[in-house]
Structure 1
Amino acid sequence: MTATDIAERPIRSGPNPLHGMLLAGAFPLFLGAALSDYAYSTTFNIQWTHFSSWLIAGGLVFSGLALICALIGIFRPAGSRGLSIFYFVLLLVTWILGFINALIHARDAWAAMPTGFTLSIVVAVLAFAAIWIGFTSRKTGGQS
């Protein structure tokens, strides 16, 4: 390997693998929470709200760790700083609304609806938007 091979390293698109795994892991959990809230709204079986609470907790863990990676990504020299800040703020809003959703789901099953279902849908959409921005618009490594 010569010095020019190292200097002309190709630009890798997207987050690093750990960040990508954490980011991609949050969406299915938040989507599952929205779907289990829908199942509760149609069947009124309380177990669906308990399942939704656990899925939200898992989504908060994954999105919280992805949020830390996004915060570190703001200070990296590669890529657009404005887009990185927008991405971080989007993940932060997703995490905050997910936490509020977890608090709503901690109440009685009857009290969690319909606010919990609505918040679950909003958080799932925000998590998908964060994945979209995180995987398609950011470049790391190499020269821009």
Structure 2
Amino acid sequence: MATDTLKSNAPATRPTIFEWFLPVPAMCFAGLLVTDIVYWRTADMMWADFSAWLVTAGVIMGLLVFLAGLIDWASGGWRAARRPAWPGVIGYMLVFIVSVFNALIHSRDGWTSVVPTGLILSASAVLLLLVTAAVDRARPRAGS
């Protein structure tokens, strides 16, 4: 009995390391916006502490995402895409830069650690993240 093997010319799509790690800092920055808003409304210092921890965790995980992106780029994971990934890379880097400045603002004590600058930076980071994710999602992937 002869067996025929099916071969596909479409490249195999697999999630990159970058895509595995990206949701972690994104959730930290989204949670940061929530805790900043709650602190602004309640002035309970516990929420400012939560914000400081979330922005720190988000920046640290953002560094890991950056390293994962470098690994993906070096291994050719992004070459399979039909369009360049640079709009997403630039957008995520802007989110990271805004968040580093936000971490410096959140290192202050008391009310000024969040209101108004920290809250504005948190909202800006989340807005940039949403726009970048939409642009990155609209980019056709290999095999689609």
TM (norm. structure 1) is 0.78
Q: Which residue pairs with 1:124 in the alignment?
A: 126
Number of aligned positions between the proteins? 138
CA offset digits 1:2-37 (Å, max 9, x no partner): 8862x5245538x42x32221122222101101100
Say whether 1:47 aligns with 2:49: no
Separation in structure 1 between the aligned mates of residue 103 and residue 51 of structure 2, nearest angstrom? 9
Residue 54 of structure 1: how far off its partner (Å)? 0.9
Separation in structure 2 between the aligned mates of residue 118 and residue 8 of structure 1, nearest angstrom? 48
Residue 60 of structure 1: how far off its partner (Å)? 1.5
CA offset digits 1:24-68 (Å, max 9, x no partner): 222221011011000011100111111011111122223222223
Task: Summarize the Cα distance change of 1:88–1:2 in structure 2 as closer, same or farther, 3 Å threshold.
Answer: farther
Separation in structure 1 between the aligned mates of residue 118 and residue 19 of structure 2, nearest angstrom? 27
| Structure having the higher Rg | 2
Q: Which residue pairs with 1:25 in the alignment?
A: 24
User: Which structure 1 residue ranges, 5 or more long, are not aligned?
Assistant: none
Task: Summarize the Cα distance change of 1:2–1:115 in structure 2 as closer, same or farther, 3 Å threshold.
Answer: farther
Separation in structure 2 between the aligned mates of residue 108 and residue 2 of structure 1, nearest angstrom? 70
Task: Summarize the Cα distance change of 1:9–1:117 in structure 2 as closer, same or farther, 3 Å threshold.
Answer: same
Say whether 1:137 aligns with 2:136: no
Residue 108 of structure 1: how far off its partner (Å)? 1.2
Q: Which residue pairs with 2:112 in the alignment?
A: 111
Identity of aligned residues (%): 26
Q: Which residue pairs with 1:96 in the alignment?
A: 97
Residue 89 of structure 1: how far off its partner (Å)? 1.2
Separation in structure 1 between the aligned mates of residue 131 and residue 66 of structure 2, nearest angstrom? 14
User: Which structure 2 residue ranges, 5 or more long, are not aligned?
Assistant: none
Residue 137 of structure 1: how far off its partner (Å)? 1.6
Residue 138 of structure 1: how far off its partner (Å)? 4.7
Taking the TM superposition and a 5 Å limit, the aligned residue runs for 1:66-105 are 66-74=65-73, 76=76, 77-80=79-82, 83-105=84-106
Task: Summarize the Cα distance change of 1:122–1:102 in structure 2 as closer, same or farther, 3 Å threshold.
Answer: same
Separation in structure 1 between the aligned mates of residue 56 and residue 4 of structure 2, nearest angstrom? 48
